[in-house]
């Protein structure tokens, strides 16, 4: 099932001043269209989160979708999980996103219950988790606070529990940084965005979405205690990692 939404035209007209990106009602309205046309492989990642849940979540399992937006990852987990008695907690601090997520939940009526929680993911206590998903959310947390969040997740996963961490990344190699950033721009144009839309959106995210290198992410995962980790998806400057406690 794909979520439907209005077409994203938020940056189509020239803006006098491009303000910092916020997850407000206007964004929530067009979010599925925006993320599908902006993140190469987003649909694939969501489907694979369902398959990973099918394999890793046993009876009575608790799962977390941190920064859930409209709940696409939570719904993928709910659809994938076959074990009985499981529960998914989906957290976001944007009331506009959660209001729409509630509508999506009602439409989907998943067999595994999903609790929607309006909170900052830095304040949420993770408990006995089988699976935690951070699908393009960590990039919005100030870099200095990322270790603490990841440590909380690691320490509260059950042994054998998994974290799916998807991020936009930066490259230390200048040539690759330019190439993949250009390829991403090209991808967005191919998806129907104009040069103006791409550049205004880029400007609005500059101080809000702070990408790190893949080495930086991998070092943090190891530092907070994850014994095993692998990149299972990459397209240009978008990656998804699987870390196992
Ligand atoms: C998906 N995971 O469709 N606390 C709670 N929520 C936050 C915080 C925070 N501190 N910071 C940002 N968010 C989703 C897509 S979008 C990714 C995730 C993107 C929320 C924010 O409100 C938004 O809904 C989400 O994280 C990021 O699989 O837009 O690039």
* Residue 122 domain-assigned (yes or no): yes
pLDDT (tens digit per residue) in 158-168: 999 999 999 99
Q: Whose CA is nearest to atom 23 of ligand 1?
A: 69
- Measured in whole angstroms, the distance separating CA 217 from the mean position of its chain's CA atoms is 15
CATH of the domain at 106: 3.40.50.150
pLDDT score recorded for residue 46 = 98
57: burial class by Cβ within 10 Å (0-12, 13-18, 19+)?
buried
Per-residue pLDDT, 87: 97
Q: What is the pLDDT of residues 143-200, one digit of tens each?
A: 999 999 999 999 999 999 999 999 999 999 999 999 999 999 999 999 998 888 878 7
Residue 148 lies in a domain: no
Is the CB of 104 inside a 6 Å radius of any atom of ligand 1?
A: no
**How many structural domains compose the chain?**
1
Q: Alpha-carbon distance 98 to 116, whole Å?
A: 7
Instruction: Give the pLDDT mean for 52-67.
Output: 98
Distance between Cα 176 and ligand 1 center (Å): 26
Give me the percent of the chain exceeding a pLDDT of 70: 99
**Domain-embedded: residue 1:** no
CA of 81 to the centre of ligand 1 (A): 23
Is the distance from the beta carbon of residue 238 to the nearest atom of ligand 1 less than 6 Å?
no
Q: What's the pLDDT score for residue 19?
A: 87
């Amino acid at each position: 099932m794909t979520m439907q939404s209005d077409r994203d035209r938020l940056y189509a007209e020239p803006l006098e001043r491009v303000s910092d990106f916020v997850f407000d009602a206007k964004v929530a309205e067009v979010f599925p269209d925006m993320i599908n046309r902006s993140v190469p492989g987003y649909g694939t990642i969501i489907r694979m989160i369902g398959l990973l849940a099918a394999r890793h979540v046993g009876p009575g399992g608790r799962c977390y979708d941190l920064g859930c937006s409209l709940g696409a990852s939570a719904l993928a987990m709910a659809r994938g999980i076959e074990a009985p008695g499981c529960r998914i907690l989906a957290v976001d601090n944007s009331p506009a996103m959660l209001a729409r997520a509630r509508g999506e939940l009602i439409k989907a009526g998943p067999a595994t219950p999903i609790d929607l929680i309006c909170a900052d993911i830095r304040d949420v206590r993770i408990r006995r988790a089988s699976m935690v998903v951070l699908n393009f959310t960590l990039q919005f947390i100030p870099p200095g606070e990322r270790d603490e969040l990841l440590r909380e997740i690691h320490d509260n996963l059950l042994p054998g529990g998994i974290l799916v961490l998807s991020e936009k990344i930066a490259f230390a190699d200048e040539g690759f940084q330019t190439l993949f950033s250009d390829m991403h721009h090209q991808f967005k144009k191919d998806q129907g965005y104009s040069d103006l839309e791409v550049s205004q959106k880029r400007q609005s995210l500059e101080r809000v979405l702070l990408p790190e290198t893949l080495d930086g992410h991998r070092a943090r995962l190891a530092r907070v205690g994850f014994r095993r980790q692998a990149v299972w998806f990459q397209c240009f400057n978008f990656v998804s990692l699987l870390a196992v406690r």
